[in-house]
Structure 1
Amino acid sequence: MVSPEDFQKMALEFPETEELPHFEKTSFRVNKKIFATLDLTHLQASLKLSIAEQDIFSLGQAGVIYPVPNKWGKQGWTIVVLRKIDKTLLRAVLTSAYCQVAPARLSKGITRP
């Protein structure tokens, strides 16, 4: 299990990340682009992945990591259930999401899973 505070701390470790409100959620952005949102009501996060990464991370993770069930999911937005995911896997998914939207100058030195 990952707490919302753990998620927030992990998301803010990436270079030039800022935390801002996004409707009823909290967003984590780099270069003004959202790479993750945190939904405290449902204890889950939504992360922006490529379709290929979404498929890979979702494989074998039913109920833990899965596409958002609408048009956003077809664009790579992926739900992560915080009470079911371990920190190592979350760090990998967050890294992929950050690198998906961060400028090359920021993501260049980050090792992707």
Structure 2
Amino acid sequence: MTTEEEFRELALSLHGTEEVAHFDRRAFKVRRIFASLEPNGDTANLYLTPPEQEQWCDIVPGAFAPVPNKWGSRGWTQVWLAHIKLDDLHAALRAAWSNCGGAE
């Protein structure tokens, strides 16, 4: 299980990431937003490529699912924090960060 604060710390640990407001959520961006955290802290959305989304949904089906709208078909993926290990979340966040301009 990953907590909301662990999610935030992992996201902010990625080089160049800043936390910004995005509607009713906290969002994390480098050049573009790569992740957002729901106000209740139960789920987050990550920007993965469609193949990455499919891979993560297969690897951890109880934790990952496409966002249930047109954004999901573009790679936006919902993550249930209670169902994901910290190491898996870090890897998925890193992929989303890289997809939005993050680089070491």
State the partner residue of 1:46: 45
Aligned to 1:89: 88
Unaligned runs of 5+ in 2: none
CA deviation digits over 1:47-88, x for unaligned, max 9?
000000000010042231010011000010000000110001
Structure 1 Cα separation of the partners of residues 60 and 15 of structure 2: 28
Equivalent position SS for 1:47: strand
Distance 1:56 1:62 in 2: 10
Q: Counterparts of 1:6-45 in structure 2 under 5 Å?
A: 6-31=6-31, 33-41=32-40, 43-45=42-44
The aligned counterpart of 1:61 is: 60
**Is contact 2:4–2:41 with CA below 8 Å preserved after alignment?**
no
Larger Rg: 1
Unaligned runs of 5+ in 1: none
TM-score, normalized by length of structure 2?
A: 0.94
SS state at 2:70 partner = coil
For the residues of structure 2 that align with 1:61 and 1:40, how far apart are their CA atoms? 23
Return the structure number with greater helix share.
2
TM-score calculated relative to the size of structure 1: 0.87
Q: After the TM superposition, list the runs of 4 or more consecutive aligned residues in structure 1 that deviate by more than 6 angstroms.
A: none
In structure 2, distance between residues paired with 1:83 and 1:75? 24
Please give the root-mean-square deviation of Cα atoms over the aligned residues, in Å.
1.2
